[in-house]
Amino acid sequence: MKSNEELELECTSWRFSVETNNLSPWKTIPKECGSYVKDYMMGRGYIVDLERVSSEAEIYAMSLKLSRDGKDVWIFYVDDTLLSNLPYYVEHCYGLEIFYPVEFDKWVHRAMAPAIEPSLKLYEKVLNLGFKVFFLTGRSEKQRSITIENLTEAGFRSWDKLILRDPEDNVKPATVFKSEKRSKMVDEGYRILGNSGDQWSDLSGFSPSSRSFKLPNPMYYVP
């Protein structure tokens, strides 16, 4: 039987591999790491990591000299980048359960996801700096109104585009869908200078940002 110290080391190594995208696609967190992930998500570690990402992104944003043509863009993804689904995952064992879209859609339609505060701070900073702010999400187009309601209530009250999945996008993996939307932005003459997301599928693929910032999320993987 593994000691608590050894188990913590192994689960820390697993989380490191998740954040560095070194694991193959995975469906649930390891059973033996349930308590570890819970402690991380509910403790100071998660908050400190979020603050670090936001701080580094803000330093980068402030270092840029924006053009005057209104084509400089910062992309934010929505779920667990701007809005926290942690209250949902508290009820679903922090990622130990297989993801069930019907249950998650019920949570979305409650429009109760709180803001991720460091992301709210970064969002306000890039708006003030003069970036165009685009929200890109894997949520369905039919969830537009409830998503707008939740974003607004959480403090995200201004943006230039909110891009969701049309019906023809539903069969596409997230990496493909989001890459296509970024490519369309580039085709329209926008320059994607910053990109914040909690999944590697938010950041990888084609038409990437000049620089991307990965928020921590050891609870689930979206290919």
Architecture of domain 4-214: 3-Layer(aba) Sandwich (3.40)
- Residue % of the chain over a pLDDT of 70: 100
Residue 24 has pLDDT above 90, yes or no: no
Spatial strand order in the sheet of 72-77: 161-165, 132-140, 72-77, 191-197, 212-214
Domain ranges of the chain: 4-214
Contact (CB, 8 A) for 195 and 213: yes
Residue 39 has pLDDT above 80, yes or no: yes
Residue 1 has pLDDT above 80, yes or no: no
Please state, in angstroms and rounded to a whole number, the distance separating the CA atoms of residues 57 and 213: 7
pLDDT of residue 2: 80
pLDDT digits (tens, 9 = 90+) for 93-129: 999 999 999 999 999 999 999 999 999 999 999 999 9
Q: Tokens at residue 90, please?
A: 């508290």
Among 194, 187, 169, CA closest to 63: 194
pLDDT of residue 163: 98
